[in-house]
Amino acid sequence: MKASSERYQSKIVLALDLENKDPQTLVQKCEEILEDVYGYICAVKINRQLVLALGLRTVSEIVRKAHERSLPVIMDAKLNDVGHTNSFMMESYIHAGFDAVIASPITGWRGGMDSVFELARRNDKGIILLVYMSNPGAEQFYSMMTGTGDEQKPIFEVFTQMAIEWGADGLVVGSTHPEIIRRVRTLLGPSMGIYSPGVGTQGGDAKKALEFGSTYLIVGRTIYASTSPRDTARELCKSTK
Ligand code: 3DU
């Protein structure tokens, strides 16, 4: 991610959440948008909605197209099941060519995240842990206090500590919660990447997120649903260098 971000002078991860009832049209649209914003993004993020619409085999072709442009591709799987099915899913995503997978630490380590990290390490892939969602209701659980007495802390802080302990490669914290980004950055130190979705359409401010400690901005609709995705990506890229 660092190399790609430097190469393209961009902090933008394109969320490729396009929809179309016709699979062929959908693939075409995905490839068109990649071509269109090429040069202004540093990575691509694919969601389960695209895998459901196209199947993993076709999605792997899109992954290949991104790789041809030297763009890393993240699978936003939000993995959160027990070990053996997590492993099946992880193996499938690795086989499809993804460079990193987003997982949810809520399963805990044993019989949950352990196999995910093990597979990632063995195959030289990244794990990005979901620490704080961008939606307005995220506070309900991600800020919930855990522990007793002096040990009390919000659960997102526990997730952040786990990310360090488990050796995660990055964290997801919504851009709509800049104060949480600041707190996570303080706990993390400077080295680990914070990926922040929710820029633009969801109300998050790109510059503020970066100022408060985000490393990368995950952006979907603000770019691909704009009248000129290329111009929008260029502007966003330039204004957040
Ligand atoms: O709002 P956008 O169109 O920029 O899309 C944001 C993307 O980031 C989308 O793929 C969504 O699944 C993902 N995401 C969040 O929006 C919020 C999170 O907390 C985690 C992931």
- Tens-place pLDDT, residues 125-142: 999 999 999 999 999 999
Partners of residue 47 on adjacent β-strands: 76
User: Of 29, 65, 78, 153, which residue is the catalytic one?
Assistant: 78
Across the chain, mean pLDDT equals: 97
What share of the chain has pLDDT > 70, as a percent?
Answer: 100
What is the rounded distance in angstroms from the CA atom of residue 19 to the CA atom of residue 30?
9
Instruction: Please check the confidence at residue 55 and state whether its pLDDT lies above 90.
Output: yes
Per-residue model confidence (pLDDT) at position 150: 85
Instruction: Please check the confidence at residue 149 and state whether its pLDDT lies above 90.
Output: no
| Residue of minimum CA distance from atom 15 in ligand 1 | 197
Ligand 1 centre from 116 Cα, in Å? 22
Per-residue model confidence (pLDDT) at position 8: 98
Query: For the whole prediction, is pTM greater than 0.95?
Result: yes
| Residue of minimum CA distance from atom 10 in ligand 1 | 15
Ligand 1 centre from 162 Cα, in Å? 22
Partners of residue 126 on adjacent β-strands: 100
Query: pLDDT digits over 183-216, tens only?
Result: 999 999 999 999 999 999 999 999 999 999 999 9
Instruction: Please check the confidence at residue 32 and state whether its pLDDT lies above 90.
Output: yes
Helix axes 229-239, 23-37, angle to 10 degrees: 40
Instruction: Please check the confidence at residue 117 and state whether its pLDDT lies above 90.
Output: yes
Which atom from ligand 1 is nearest to the alpha carbon of 47? 10
Per-residue model confidence (pLDDT) at position 151: 87
Answer whether 171's CB lies under 8 Å from 131's CB: yes
**Strand (E) or helix (H) holding 2:** helix 2-8
Pocket residue to mutate for ligand 1, from 12, 44, 132, 134, most atoms within 8 A of Cβ: 134
Per-residue model confidence (pLDDT) at position 123: 98
What is the rounded distance in angstroms from the CA atom of residue 44 to the CA atom of residue 72?
6
Tokens of 218: 């995950």
Answer whether 40's CB lies under 8 Å from 234's CB: yes
Per-residue model confidence (pLDDT) at position 124: 98
